[in-house]
Each structure stands twice: as structure tokens, then as C-alpha cells.
Amino acid sequence: MAKWSRRVFTQAALALASGAGGRALSAASAPGASSLVDLSATDAVMHMTRGDFTVESYAQALIEQCRRASSLNAFISFDADRVMDEARRKDRARRAGDLLGPLFGLPIPVKDSVNTQDYPTTGGTPALRNFRPRHDAPLVAQLKSAGAIVLGKTNLHELSYGWTSNNLAFGPVRNPYDRQRIPGGSSGGTAAAISARLAPLGVAEDTEGSIRVPAAFCGVMGLRPTTGRYPTLGCVPVTPVFDQLGPQARTVADLALFDSVIAGVPQPLVARPLKSVRLGVVRDYFFTDLDPDVELLTQRALSRLTDAGASIVEGSLPDLARLIDLTTAIISNHEVIGELTRYLKTYHAGIDLEQLVSSSSTDIRDYFRDWIMPGGKHVPSHQEYVAARHRYLPAVRHLYREHFASQRIDALVFPTTRIPAPRIGDETDFNIGGRVVSFDVAVGQNIAPGSTAGVPGLVIPVGLTRAGLPVSLEFDAPAGSDRALLALGLSIERVVDATPAPKEESNRILGASTIGGKHVTLKGAPH
């Protein structure tokens, strides 16, 4: 990755911030202490790079915010002293005139399925509670090389197998907009942290919606990049066919900053005018059985986009539902055994797969028994797996390529989830317009095709329901068009309704923190 001088990076950061539209704070002057936690990553780095405030003062503000929002249970591991020590080292480096990276001084929370040498990597499961990898995952190493600081490890759905983040081992993550509701999963801790202003930019991971569902439920941006765009080594796996690390943030510009660092494209991004944009809509798959508020906010956002000049192109994806049923879960559930076995051996976790599964929480253990482990009543046959991997997966990807080309569309647009965040424990069936819709369909049906097709997906919030819960749209673009999608996103976020921040008072518990499901004092935090 390229090393940038302080002067050169400051110029680039200013250009990127100007392309982000009105949601990024102005870079004209340094913000006061009370507004530090509201800064975008782009603005925070720019201010620290040019010395408007210290990395130490910024880290202190975020740590204090983590303390105030401790009831969210967003973190499994958190060491405030370590963060502050790293922040002071960054300040010394700046004063010494060292070259500063494009993420200089930025504390970034990392999903606790991604290896870090300074923190345990639990995967959210009991058997890995004390597992400390010898090295950072390549993506974490890239972030640190660019000047970032690891701001702890975030809570998640155990072993990334679920869309709720109701972790029975480390406690449930709670939604910043309503602590009685789920934040989505599996990357719920990172999304909750970004939403609650514990950090502006975080690391998540998506096999089948684990970046996008939490982004939607927590009212933040999320990017699932084209499969293979970012390295996924050193991450508790499901399958390399679908696994992909990616960012969550509160502005598209911050997603673009993350992408520029990890993909090695350090140029600023220019917003694409909407007047030339064609957005595809497939109503018979993505727009059925929508919660009334989700439907209302979706249509309002589409009207905003068309008023700004975008064209809506109606189309269809024939046989998509059947192809997804024959592909996605079958591949994941077949390959996870071998992938987890290799991960545990490669990174010297000190346990085997049987120990991992037998020590897992009851919900995960039951799922593995029935759907994954040999002899389970729902385990796909080898013939079903071969057909999924070599027949139906290519068919899904061909279907997507042909649809983008024949319709001449820049992106598919649809509501990320069909419902807003449900209450914790209320994850069974929903009555939508007189029809019974399962949790898996309401939450997972719209996000599954993008993962399976391997295309980039960008989640942008578009407002709050009458109950004050976020709703978002997802924009899926052709494989490899990540930068073009982000450029489009810069314009989209200017047009759709802004989503207000969650009310901080609902998340506040003073003087203590819930870390890993236990009520403990934050080490090194002010009281």
C-alpha cells in the first residue's frame, strides 16, 4: 500500500470530503469536543492529520462514548488503555514529522471473527474465548499500516450463523434506536457501534447479509464489496465462495476511504450525477410482502431519486427464487466444516471442530447438528452440493450478468429487509398485509442473491418508521464495479431523506460497561 505524506494526504482528504455532500461535517475549522464523536472518518482523519486536535483527544472522546452506550453490548473485547497508548504514539509520530497514512489516528472497531494479535478472536463462541492469534488478519494489518488503531472487538451472532446478534455466550447486541430490538447480524456489534457514534467506521463481514442486514437495522451505510475484492484470510470462515470482509460507516465517503485503502486505489472519488443513472427494479422478487412503513419509505426514496433525474427500469429475474434455494445455503452448510477445520489448524486455535461445536451455545449447536454435521436430518447430499456449486451457482451469476447487460442498468435497487428491526426474541413469523411471512424471508430473502452472485452491494438508510426505526435501500451493481457504485452512492445519499442519529439517552449507563455479556468496568476509561 502506498505511503502518503501529510501534505498530500490532507489535500486528498479535503477532496474526498467535498465529494461526500452535505452529511460530512465542514472541514473549515476544528470541531469542539462535544462534536468529535459525530465526525465522519474522513473529517476526523483530516483534522488529526493537520493538527486541529490530537489523536489522544479524539480517542478519549470515543472511549467516553463507548462508556455511555455500554448497554448496547457492542464489544466483546475492549482495552481503553491500549487504545490511548496507541493514540499517544500516533501524536508523537506526527510531531516527529513521520509520514502519515490515509487512516491516521482513526480508531476502528473490528468484528470479533477477524484475527487480531492484540485481542482475542472469539468468533462469538465459547470455545474460542481465550484464543489469541499470533498475527493480525491481512485486512487488519492493512488498516494499521494506513494509520488506524483497533478500537476493540465487536460482538456478533455466534460463528456468524444468524441475522440477529442474539449471542447466548456473550450476550445480545442491542439496537441503538431501541434497546429492546435486534441490531441485525451477524455483524451487529460493529453496526451498533457506528450507529451510536462509538466510531465512524468499522470492520464487518458478510457471507449472506451480515454487513447489510445490521446496516439496515441500525441506520448506517454498509458495503459488501465484490467477492474477492478484499482479503478474507484470518477470518473465522463459512465459505470462500461467499465470505467477504467489508466496512460499515455513516457516510458513503467513509466507505470509499476504506475501499481506497484496502483495494489500493487512493484517489478521491467524484459523485456521479443521477441524471444519467438507470436503476433496475424487480418487483416480483424484492418488493413483495413489505412492511407498510418499509414500503412507504422505499417509494418515497425512489421518488426522490427519480425527481433528481434517475430512471427506474422495471424488469424480472426469472427463476431467481428457485436458483437461490438450490444454491446458497447448500454451499455454505457443506463447506463450513472443512473451512472451520482448516481455520482452527492454520491459526493454532488449540481445539478441533468437534470441540468447537460441542461447546457452542444451544441454538448454534442445534443448527450444526441438524443442518451441517454428518447425519443431520437436513444436511444436503453430496449430489445436491455438486449441483449447487457447479450448476446453480454459475446460473445465478450468469442471470445477474445478463440482467445488468440487457437492461443497461447501473444498479438494482430494493429494500434491504422487508421489515424494520424486530424485538429481541420475536424472530419467528410476521403478519404483513394479512400474509404470514417467516423471519428468514422477511430479513434474508432480499440480501441472499447479491451474496450468491458475488456482486457489490451498497446499503443506504432512507429514513425512520413511525416507531423511529431505520429503513434502508440496497443498491447491487455488476461485479467489479465497486468504485462506480460508491460514486453513485455519493449522489444517492444527498437525495434521500437523512436518517437522524439514535437518541443517546436511551443507550446510557454511566460508570460501567457490558463487555462480552458481563457487567465490568471499562479499563482505563474516565469515570
* Local confidence pLDDT in tens for the 527 residues of the chain: 333 333 334 344 444 443 343 333 333 456 765 599 999 999 999 999 999 999 999 999 999 999 999 999 999 999 999 999 999 999 999 999 999 999 999 999 999 999 999 999 999 999 999 999 999 999 999 999 999 999 999 999 999 999 999 999 999 999 999 999 999 999 999 999 999 999 999 999 999 999 999 999 999 999 999 999 999 999 999 999 999 999 999 999 999 999 999 999 977 899 999 999 999 999 999 999 999 999 999 999 999 999 999 999 999 999 999 999 999 999 999 999 999 999 999 999 999 999 999 999 999 999 999 999 999 999 999 999 999 999 999 999 999 999 999 999 999 999 999 999 999 999 889 999 999 999 999 999 999 999 999 999 999 999 999 999 999 999 999 999 999 999 999 999 999 999 999 997 544 433 333 444 433 323 332 22
The rounded distance, in Å, linking the Cα atoms of 216 and 239 is 23
Burial class (CB in 10 A: 0-12, 13-18, 19+), 288: middle
End-to-end CA distance of the chain: 39
For 347-376, give the secondary structure using H, E and C. Answer: CCCCCCHHHHHHCCCHHHHHHHHHHHCCCC
The 10 Å Cβ neighbour count of residue 117 is 16
Helices then strands (H, E): number in the chain?
Answer: 19, 17
**In this structure, are strands 311-314 and 278-281 parallel, antiparallel, or unpaired?**
parallel
Residue 150's DSSP bridge partners are 108
Task: State pTM to two decimals.
Answer: 0.91
Q: Which three cell numbers stand for residue 307?
A: 425527481
**In this structure, are strands 411-415 and 278-281 parallel, antiparallel, or unpaired?**
parallel
Q: Which residues are catalytic?
A: 111, 186, 210
| CATH T-level fold of 15-324+384-520 | Amidase signature (AS) enzymes (3.90.1300)
The rounded distance, in Å, linking the Cα atoms of 93 and 114 is 27
Instruction: Give the per-residue pLDDT at 394.
Output: 98
Q: Kindly list the distances between the CA atom of residue 308 and the CA atoms of 158, 273, 312, 458, in Å, as whole numbers in the listed order.
A: 42, 9, 12, 19
Instruction: Give the per-residue pLDDT at 504.
Output: 72
Q: Which three cell numbers stand for residue 172?
A: 445480545
Instruction: Give the per-residue pLDDT at 266.
Output: 76
Please state the domain extents for the chain: 15-324+384-520, 325-383
What phi and psi values does residue 134 have, to the nearest 5 degrees? -75, -25
Q: What's the alpha-carbon Rg for the chain, to the nearest Å?
A: 22
Length of the chain: 527
Helix, strand, coil percent values for the chain (each to nearest 5): 45, 15, 40
What phi and psi values does residue 181 have, to the nearest 5 degrees? -115, 160
